[in-house]
Amino acid sequence: MVDPKHYTYRVIWSAEDGAFVGLCAEFPSLSHLDDTQSKALEGITRLIEDVVADMQAQGETPPIPISEREYSGRFQVRITPELHRRLAIRAAEANLSLNRIVSDQLAKP
């Protein structure tokens, strides 16, 4: 049984809509607009609770919350040979592994 409170929520401001938008990463097609951040968060949370309840009632399996998924710490990225060469040179010059160079770059805000 999935607990909707475990999903990944956030609120952003939409200048286009002139409102705060509540979002849920596990349900990217759903959103809730409201005039305050707290109302937008409450709205998206209620919407997701309703959607999950409907899915379960229909025998569908809701997505597993990101916070409860297991990650290996590995993923593959395809880059151009030229970029691969530049990164390899940077790693060699810094006396670091290519993995460390790329990981450090990805970790930057």
Q: How far apart are the first and last CA of the chain?
A: 35
Do 54 and 24 fall within a single domain?
A: yes
Token pair listed for 7:
């999903």
For residue 82, the model assigns a pLDDT of 97
Do 60 and 79 fall within a single domain?
A: no
**In terms of pLDDT, which residue wins out, 109 or 16?**
16
User: pLDDT tens digits, residue range 72-87?
Assistant: 999 999 999 999 999 9
Do 27 and 60 fall within a single domain?
A: yes
Do 43 and 91 fall within a single domain?
A: no
**1 pLDDT above the threshold of 90:** no
Do 41 and 59 meet the contact criterion of CB atoms below 8 Å apart?
no
Do 20 and 49 fall within a single domain?
A: yes
Domain that holds residue 100: 71-107
Do 39 and 81 fall within a single domain?
A: no
Do 42 and 8 fall within a single domain?
A: yes
The overall pTM is greater than 0.85: no
Which of the four pLDDT bands, split at 50, 70 and 90, describes residue 49?
Answer: very high
Do 99 and 61 fall within a single domain?
A: no
